[in-house]
Amino acid sequence: MIALIDYGAGNLASVRKALAHLGATVTTPDAPADLASAGGIIVPGVGNFGVTAALGPDWQTAIRSHIDLQRPLLGICVGMQWLFDESEEAPGHPGLELLAGTCRLLAEENSADGRTGPTRLKVPHVGWNSLHLTKPSWLLDGVAEGDQVYFTHSFAAPVTADCVGATQYGIVFAAAVERGHVGGVQFHPEKSSDVGLRILNNFLRRVS
């Protein structure tokens, strides 16, 4: 059973529909204690990082206990950013702090003269973009270099040792991350056609 967490920041209907298409049993837990019976957890999310504050200490403890039992967790979009330490989008609201780093506003790497700092891009970044695979990954198993997935976001996570797939929009940012049984994607697999369904199916395989 997959626990799809509703903290008021995601289009759960699309994710639930994609999971049902893949034959998964999905529940939306009412309380942190409900996570004890879940084989896997998905934390979706759109919008401002600050909404993750709704996932308070009780939820965080239950999610960490789930991870300690070697049960898979997948973060989607803001749900992936929440796996990191923090985001510039909501100063003072820490993430789950499973992955080191700060999510930052998308920007150009350098301005035209090459001497000044990063310049702002048109954000949000909305639409299809390609994946660059950075290392072997259970989450991206069967995904090919250059496959297209659907993004909608203004902030992004850094490329660290946990990055398994990167994308460039101005800067190069982490599009998919993985550490042990924990994975995350900045894009929306539920809106990314066959490639997205493959990624969700990889998660379900990990759960099983």
Residues with catalytic roles: 77, 188, 190
Residue 89 phi/psi, 5-degree rounding, is -65, -30
Residue with tokens 């957890």: 41
Closest of 32, 15, 11, 33 to residue 24, by C-alpha: 15
Residue carrying structure tokens 């008021």? 8
CA distance 39 to 153: 29
Angstrom distance (rounded) from CA 124 to CA 162 = 24
- Residue 172: helix, strand or coil by DSSP? strand
